[in-house]
């Protein structure tokens, strides 16, 4: 028995938005390009700068669980002149592809990073527990709580871009 969830993407009425709809590919922004300057920030107590470079290489695509937020319309649709895209995502896709954002007054603290040792088949890789270390990818200030955000986080294919267009799971069900 498959269950479905609806998520929403508030957008300006622009060429880029229409391109998203036409190609069913959505814009993934680099952390440094998000509208919240504290998004993706964390306290790194590990002494290892490798994770900082890793975070800089990520792109984010944001959605909301709320279909009718006046604040979302005001902030993300050019003052109520844009559109809201509705996607329907099955439970399995939702659980494996989307991160639900937590809202907190405090930055996430990273105390440990696990890397694979030299000579290991996964050498150079990071092991990240989404519930613990992964909080750095899904924590925002309490001020943004009205968004009820869910997001997809992915690796950027190019290191010098502002973001990229990529496919997202789910089915477009309304605009």
Q: Using CA atoms, how far apart are residues 58 and 29, in angstroms rounded to an integer?
A: 8
Distance in angstroms (rounded) separating the CA atoms of residues 108 and 23: 36
Q: What is the pLDDT along the chain (175 residues), one digit of tens a residue?
A: 889 999 999 999 999 999 999 988 999 998 888 888 788 888 888 887 777 887 888 899 999 999 999 999 999 999 999 999 999 999 999 998 999 999 999 998 888 776 666 666 665 665 665 556 678 888 999 999 999 999 999 888 877 788 888 999 999 999 9
pTM as predicted: 0.87
């Amino acid at each position: 028995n498959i269950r479905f969830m609806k998520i929403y993407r508030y957008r300006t009425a622009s060429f880029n938005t229409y391109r998203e709809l036409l190609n069913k590919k959505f814009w993934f922004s680099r952390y440094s390009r998000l509208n919240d300057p504290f998004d993706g920030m964390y306290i790194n107590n590990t002494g290892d700068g490798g994770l900082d470079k890793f975070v800089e290489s990520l792109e984010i695509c944001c959605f909301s669980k709320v279909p009718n937020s006046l604040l979302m319309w005001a902030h993300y649709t050019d003052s109520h002149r844009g559109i809201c895209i509705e996607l329907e995502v099955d439970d399995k896709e939702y659980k494996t592809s989307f991160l639900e954002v937590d809202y907190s007054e405090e930055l996430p603290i990273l105390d440990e990073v696990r890397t694979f040792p030299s000579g290991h088949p996964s050498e150079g890789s990071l092991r990240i527990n989404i519930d613990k270390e992964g909080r750095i990818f899904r924590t925002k200030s309490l001020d943004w709580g009205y968004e009820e955000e869910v997001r997809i986080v992915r690796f950027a294919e190019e290191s010098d871009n502002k973001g990229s267009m990529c496919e997202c799971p789910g089915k477009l069900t309304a605009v």
